[in-house]
């Protein structure tokens, strides 16, 4: 009787002590089982010598977390851009707001150059638009 | 082997590479292996909350096996056989000749091709034993079969492999 499946289990250290003794005794007298052992051992070694591969880094939690940060990055950029735009708008609005000094300058310029200050359409918010109006008025005289 | 996994991150760090290699040796496809690993880790994450202390290895590899079989059923496509991504057997500092490298790659290819030709139950048992390093008992728990069946599958798988490798 050949030992068959006991051979692989023997190589893997999965036999009980009694089974192992039984197999060793059998192998001493059985050429076929010794050949079987050599074949199985060869296949076992071939699979065990296959390289252990590295998985893609993005599978691991740390990298996955980084990927989430990367994915969130556009949102952060949008928030920063919004904040910057807000600052610009506030700055621009402050700059564009009519000031007593500017109003006085209009009057001075009109008096000095005899220009007619013309404002087109609805009242402007002042600043750049009013300056453009003023310059146009100066050119008209 | 832990009876109670601490966190999903620790499970991923400790077992992710093994899961990936298990998947790769069953499919010989890096993309499929990565997809499967990701799927297994997701299932582990969902399952950890309800995990009851016991055989963690058995639980984990049962999830892995089920995820693999689900994926196979879903895709129903033949695996491809690319070259290995990398050969870790060459230690840093050693400088194998190009012929040695090619010979090793050919051997690996032969073995991988032979693995793919094994009946699934044999391939799975051989990979779990010889690539992942699970005990027969752990394989039995993962596959839901008696230890005697595992013993038989591994032995018959190896004998077929030997014939296929030549």
Residue A59, Cβ density class (10 Å: 0-12 exposed, 13-18 middle, ≥19 buried):
buried
End-to-end CA distance of chain B: 37
Q: Quick one: angle between helices B56-75 and B8-27, nearest 10?
A: 50
Distances (CA, A) of A102 to A94, A122, B41, B142: 13, 19, 68, 84
Which B positions 78-107 lie with beta carbon below 8 A of chain A? 84-89, 107
Residue A140 has pLDDT above 60, yes or no: no
- Whether residue B12 and residue A48 make contact (CB cut-off 8 A), yes or no, is no
pTM above 0.80, yes or no: no
Among chain B residues, CA nearest to A13 = B135
State the DSSP code for A51: P
Residue-averaged pLDDT of chain A = 68
What does the pLDDT profile of chain B (166 residues) look like in tens digits? 555 556 888 888 889 999 999 999 998 989 889 999 999 999 998 988 888 877 788 889 999 999 988 887 877 655 444 444 444 444 445 566 767 777 777 788 899 999 999 999 999 999 999 999 999 999 999 999 999 999 999 999 999 999 999 8
Tell me if A47 and B38 make a contact (CB, 8 A cut-off): no
Rounded to a whole number of angstroms, the distance from the CA of A84 to the nearest CA of chain B is 38
Instruction: Tell me the C-alpha distance between B45 and B41, whole Å.
Output: 6
Maximum Cα–Cα distance for chain B, whole Å? 52
* Mutate which: A3, A44, A45, A66, vs B, most B CBs within 10 A: A44
Nearest to B78 by CA among B124, B27, B44: B27
* Residues A51/A28, Cβ–Cβ less than 8 Å: no
Q: What CA–CA distance (Å, rounded) separates A17 from A92?
A: 89
Please name the member of A12, A36, A50 whose beta carbon is closest to the beta carbon of B129: A12
**Which of A14, A42, A47 is nearest residue B126 as measured by Cβ atoms?**
A47
Residues in chain A: 141
How many of the other CB atoms lie within 10 Å of CB of A113?
12
Nearest to B153 by CA among A52, A40, A50: A40
Are residues A61 and B88, on separate chains, in Cβ contact within 8 Å?
A: no
Q: Which residue has the tokens 């793919």?
A: B116
Distance CA A112, CA B7 (A): 81
ipTM: 0.80
Nearest-angstrom CA–CA distance, A133 and A120? 7
Q: How far apart are CA A4 and CA A43, in angstroms?
A: 15
Taking a C-beta distance cutoff of 8 angstroms, is the pair B115, B139 a contact?
A: no
Give B18: exposed, middle or buried? Use CB within 10 Å, 0-12, 13-18, 19+. buried
Q: Does A95 touch chain B (CB under 8 A)?
A: no
pLDDT in tens, A66-105: 554 444 445 555 666 677 777 777 777 666 665 544 444 4
Residue A26 has pLDDT above 70, yes or no: yes
CB nearest to B37's CB, from A40, A51, A55: A55
Distance separating alpha carbons of residues B83 and B60, to the nearest angstrom: 28
Give the separation between CA A102 and CA A21, rounded to whole angstroms.
108
Class of domain B8-82+97-165: mainly alpha
Domain parsing of chain A, residue ranges = 3-48, 106-139
* Structural contact between residues B151 and A9, judged by C-beta atoms closer than 8 angstroms: yes
Tokens 């991150």, residue?
A: B9
Asked if B17's CB is within 8 angstroms of A46's CB, the reply is no
Q: With CB atoms and an 8 Å threshold, state whether A59 touches B8.
A: no
Whether the CB of B135 is below 8 Å from some CB of chain A: the reply is yes
A47 with B127: Cβ contact below 8 A? yes
Judged by a CB distance cut-off of 8 A, whether residue A8 touches chain B is yes
């Amino acid at each position: 009787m050949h030992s068959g499946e006991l051979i692989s289990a023997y190589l893997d250290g999965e036999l009980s002590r009694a089974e192992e003794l039984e197999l060793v005794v059998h192998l001493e007298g059985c050429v076929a089982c010794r050949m079987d052992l050599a074949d199985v051992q060869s296949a076992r070694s071939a699979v065990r010598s296959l390289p252990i591969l590295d998985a893609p880094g993005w599978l691991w939690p740390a990298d996955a977390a980084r990927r989430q940060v990367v994915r969130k990055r556009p949102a952060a950029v949008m928030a920063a851009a919004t904040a910057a735009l807000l600052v610009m708008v506030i700055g621009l609005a402050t700059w564009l707001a009519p000031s007593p000094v500017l109003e006085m300058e209009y009057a001075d310029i009109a008096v000095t150059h005899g220009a007619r200050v013309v404002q087109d359409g609805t009242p402007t918010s002042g600043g750049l638009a009013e300056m453009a109006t003023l310059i146009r008025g100066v050119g008209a005289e | 082997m832990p009876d109670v996994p601490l966190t999903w991150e620790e499970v991923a760090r400790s077992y992710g590479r093994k899961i990936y290699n298990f998947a790769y040796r069953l499919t010989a496809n890096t993309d499929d292996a990565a997809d499967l690993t990701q799927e297994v880790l997701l299932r582990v994450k969902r399952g950890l909350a309800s995990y009851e202390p016991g055989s963690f290895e058995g639980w984990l590899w049962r999830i892995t096996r089920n995820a693999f079989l689900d994926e196979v059923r879903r895709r129903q496509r033949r695996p491809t056989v690319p070259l290995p991504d990398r050969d870790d057997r060459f230690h840093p500092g050693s400088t194998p000749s190009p012929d040695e490298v090619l010979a090793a790659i050919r051997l690996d290819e032969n073995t991988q091709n032979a693995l793919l030709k094994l009946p699934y139950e044999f391939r799975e048992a051989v990979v779990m034993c010889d690539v992942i390093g699970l005990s027969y008992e752990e394989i039995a728990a993962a596959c839901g079969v008696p230890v005697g069946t595992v013993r038989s599958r591994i032995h018959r798988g190896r004998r077929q492999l030997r014939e296929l490798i030549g």
